[in-house]
Structure 1
Amino acid sequence: MKPLLLSLLLLIVPALPAAAQDWALGGFDAVAYARAGHPVPGRSDIVTMWKGKLWHFASEDNRARFEADPRAYAPGFNGLCPVSLSEGRREKGDPRHFIILDRKLYLLRSESAERQMRAAPKDVLSQAKRIWGKIR
């Protein structure tokens, strides 16, 4: 059943011009952040659907790891930038700017936000978590 669903998905996705909007992490491989240490583009033929988004992977192994425990690889705060949250704003993180803290991926809105996060990760996360608890 799963291969059939994947085959159908792969036939439908290229026909949808807005499909890229439904791509998690802009098409980057969520597992590769931790394994490679940098953003790695996923392949269009190695995908899975989770939480209404298409997640792309650079390898079958990475897809299997993600499918076994997607929450371990999905970005914190649903991909919102922790620096923005700590400042009281809901701003989407850019998958090219990230940090991994305590084995959790966080996306940052910009290079500047990435520098802020690296300079004071505990302070930023603490404040972001307080605000996140109020807006979820």
Structure 2
Amino acid sequence: MSRFPIAAAIAATAIFLAFTGATRAEEPVNTGYFGDVAIKGYDPVAYFTENKAVEGSPEFTYRWLGATWQFASAEHRDQFMKEPTRYAPQYGGYCADGVSFGTVTTNIDPKAWRIIEGKLYLSYDPGAADGFEKNPAKVVDSRKHWSEVEQTLLTEKTSINWMKPSP
């Protein structure tokens, strides 16, 4: 038995795992159409601690999942740094109502939000946020559809990155 096919198979598997692992290691975060700021610069911790949408400041930031997150205070930034998954919006900050239909809605309104079962959900407008909260089936549907929506987002991100010229 030749060592070359085994070595080639091992190398191909390693490359495949490295590529897919790198793609899956970073969840997609909605940063809008331009820039890299999550939740249009709003403070994710404030939704929980102040029960309202509060604009963050470029003075208090943290890089997480390839996006810049802004906070109203150093205290909020530090809370987020300790437990980002507790405060980050579900579905990377994409519209939860859109995800419940299996679609991607990038344009969200940071003031259209709900905390349901301890999780933050953002929507594209207040009516969608109300509908999402009042219809528990939408929460179930969004969880069911997220993996396919996430895969679509990751595929788009990968194809865009492949098209960018090297520096």
What TM-score do the two structures reach when normalised by structure 2? 0.65
Deviation at 1:133, TM superposition (A): 2.7
1:107 aligns to what SS in structure 2?
A: strand
Amino acid paired to 2:116: L
Aligned-partner residue type, residue 75 of structure 1? P
Partner residue, 2:69 = 55
- Say if 2:104 and 2:149, in contact at 8 Å, map to a contact too: no
**1:104 corresponds to:** 119
The question of 1:129 aligning with 2:140 is answered: no
CA shift in 2, pair 1:24/1:135, >3 Å: closer
1:34 is matched with which residue? Answer: 48
Trace 1:1-136 onto structure 2 (pairs within 5 A): 21-92=35-106, 93-120=108-135, 122-136=136-150
Unmatched segments (≥5 aa) in structure 1:
1-19
In structure 2, how many angstroms separate the alpha carbons of the residues matched to 1:43 and 1:88? 32
After superposition, the C-alpha distances for 1:33-85 in whole angstroms (9 at most, x for unaligned) are 11111111112211111111111111111111000011111110111222112
Distance (Å, rounded) in 1 between the aligned partners of 2:37 and 2:149 = 24
Deviation per CA, 1:69-110: give whole Å up to 9, x if none. 111111101112221122231112321210001111110111
Which structure would you say has the larger Rg?
2
Identity %: 29
Structure 2 contact 96–142 (Cα < 8 Å) conserved = yes
How many pairs does the alignment contain? 116
